[in-house]
Amino acid sequence: MAIVDDLLPHEVLQQLLSELKQALGEGEFHPAHIGHGVAEYRISEIRGDKIMWLEENALTEYQRLYFSFLDELREHLSNYFRIALPWQECHLAAYPSGSFYKRHFDQFRETNNRIFSVILYLNENWKPEDGGQLRVYESDGHYDIDPKMGRLVCFRSDLVEHEVLITNKPRFSITGWIRRDEPTPIFLG
């Protein structure tokens, strides 16, 4: 688990946040799904965030900046661990007050292509009583991370079990996954 604060300039964080809020206000977010084929009515019992996937060809100026930061991080991790990491995917996330994401791994059961999870938090003046901590489980217990503005966390998608505790305020972030393959197109019929 890597936790890094203040890696990105304040101005970039502010812009990412205001663009996120704008897209949210324009109805660009939709309720997140879990895995494949999970009945819709059960989803809110597991996670209550709304998301907007970022498409590489439709990024704002500051989202593009964040993407190139992720490119650099991906290349660094690839070199350091000597594994091919050709792809990343990324979405904006908004947790309404009262929402959470139950304990899980970031890996679909039937695939193993996500290697690193990277989350950038965009919550100004976050206080412990606001809730929404990222709870990280270890073999002998757990610890909590405050989702405060500019904090970046990076962890192994398949190894680190985690949860988002109930948030008492709207909670914003950008979540990305660094993958070991490029997504294959799905052909139907």
134 binds, among ligand OGA, Mn ion, none (CB under 5 to 8 A by kind): ligand OGA
Smallest gap from residue 151 Cβ to ligand OGA (A): 10
Residue 139: what residue type? S
119, 136, 152, 178: which one binds ligand OGA (CB under 6 A): 119
3-state helix, strand, coil in the chain (%, to 5): 25, 30, 40
Of the pair 63, 188, the CB lying nearest ligand OGA is at 63
Nearest to Mn ion of 62, 116 (CB atom): 116
Helices (H) and strands (E) in the chain, counts: 3, 11
- Which residue number, 106 or 130, has a Cβ lying nearer to ligand OGA? 106
Of residues 85, 115, 136, 164, which one binds ligand OGA by CB under 6 A?
164
Strands (E), the chain: 2-4, 30-31, 50-53, 87-95, 101-104, 114-121, 134-138, 141-145, 152-156, 161-164, 171-179
Site for ligand OGA in 95-114 (CB under 6 A): 101, 106
Q: Check residue 175 for interaction with ligand OGA (CB under 6 A).
A: yes
Whether 2 contacts 80, CB under 8 Å: no
CA distance 112 to 181: 9
Name the site residues for Mn ion (rule: CB under 5 A): 106
Query: Does 118 help bind ligand OGA (rule: CB under 6 A)?
Result: no
How distant, in Å, are the alpha carbons of 71, 76, 119 from that of 49? 25, 30, 14
Nearer to ligand OGA, 163 or 181 (CB): 163
Residue ranges binding ligand OGA (CB under 6 A): 93, 101, 106, 119, 134, 147, 162, 164, 173, 175
